[in-house]
Chain A
Amino acid sequence: MPNDNPHITNSLLNSFKAFVGSHFLLNIINGIQSDVILKAHKSAFDTLQLFNRVYKLALKQSNEQFTRLEETLTFLTVYGALEQIRFPNRKFPTIKIDGINPENSIPTFVLQPFVENAWLLFLETKLHSFNISISTKDNTCSLLIDLKTNAQTHGKTNAKIELAFLRLELLQDAGLLTYSANWQKKSFFSLTIQTL
């Protein structure tokens, strides 16, 4: 999709920067360092493999305002696998997929911040469930995060989510998509994006 809007370009670069400089990736490198000093070679190798994949995907996507949904799912899956290594006692959910058209595309770096935010909130609790589902129909993509948690954490946000919303706003203003987002009472969060 064409894009010559400098604000949109900046928003993409800022989202990329937020991801590669995130506490998530720095903690992953810290974990690899721990594996090395603890001589946990297999764990270090496995983590490096996943880190390699997620980093290259992020690097590739940093050039694309929109990413094929299939690639975005791979990105989220690898992200989840890395988080699972960091916190082996909590189960990162398998992403449920419904009616995916591999050719569907969605804005780059938009879904992961919401998934990460929900995961962090899930880590703070012990008894709550966490599910992620993504469905598509025609040119519409819906993300539903079903996180049974307490009311105090509804709507809790962070800088990466702010950047994701900024990107969605800019892309909507440019006439490239429409979107709606809701912090749900029962199912935490939903995001629907319709590309135009």
Chain B
Amino acid sequence: MPMLTAIIIDDELKSREGLEAMLHNLIEGVSVVAMADSVTSGVKAIAKNKPDIVFLDVEMPRRDGFELFDAFDKIDFEVVFTTAHEQYASKAFRTTAIDYLLKPIDIDLLKEAIERAREKRDKDKVNKNFEVFVNNLQTNKSNQQIAISSSDGLLFIKIDNIVYLRGDGAYTYFFLKTGERITTSKNLKEYEDLLSEYDFFRVHKSSLIHLHEMKKYVRGEGGYVVMSNGDSVDVSKRRKENFLAALSKL
């Protein structure tokens, strides 16, 4: 389980130390990297440590916890409000907070909050990886190396190394020259939009092929193509005409 880093912001020393001890002794996979006694010092700690989660007390001297959000253009950490004021809870949910814990903190609810934060963190990471992928394609075409998110993390592959892609609902399988097959949780249409300018063509609703990796086209109603790795890929009747037009431009 990947370690999540956390910061605790609370004006009460005992409350900070108690939560740190709960996280350290009773919860797996969370490391408290800093603690702060005010919003001002909390902002500095976040900027320095870039935590995954911030446990944020609401009522603190001078600036309440909600004012922390004013200090950041983008909240790229998860927030769990900790408060003894139940009336703050609804306000917490109207902001970017994902969760809140009423004091005294219930250990089971703390565990649940951590899990929700972890799940959201993982999901955000996938989205961020895809942004990297898009950005890479759009800004660095000459390199022709793309990053795709997989179950293991980010994979960087050369576009020239892709033989074809097969879609299956929300998933897409990349078939590479090396014989590898990579699964991603994006549908084929998104890759069609991204790769069409690199001579990839959607020959079937479930197949996007790299035209340069085609060995043979076998005519038929729609016909099929044999790719460089030996796999056969059907061409749908509806797409045949456009497919042949694309081939003529190569």
Contacts and interface: CB of A to CB of B under 8 A. Distances in A.
B61 A30 contact: no
Interface string B53-76: 000000101100000000000000
A183 interface: no
SS of A interface (majority): helix
Main secondary structure of the interface of B (DSSP, over half): mixed
Contacts of A31: 12, 14-15, 18
B84 interface: yes
Counting chain A residues whose Cβ lies within 8 A of the other chain, the interface size class is 20 to 34
Interface string A24-47: 101101111111011000010000
Contacts of A128: none
Interface residues of B, number: 22
A43 B18 CA distance: 13
Contacts of A86: 12, 14
B103 A30 contact: yes
B153 interface: no
A181 interface: no
21 contacts: A23-B83, A23-B84, A23-B85, A23-B103, A26-B84, A26-B103, A27-B12, A27-B15, A29-B104, A30-B18, A31-B12, A33-B18, A34-B14, A34-B19, A35-B18, A37-B25, A38-B18, A87-B12, A88-B13, A123-B11, A125-B61
Interface of B: 11-15, 17-19, 21-22, 25-26, 59, 61-62, 83-85, 102-105
Given A26-B102, A27-B12, A30-B103, 20 more contacts: A22-B84, A26-B84, A26-B103, A26-B104, A27-B103, A30-B15, A30-B18, A30-B84, A30-B104, A34-B18, A34-B19, A37-B18, A37-B21, A37-B25, A38-B21, A87-B12, A88-B13, A123-B11, A124-B61, A124-B62
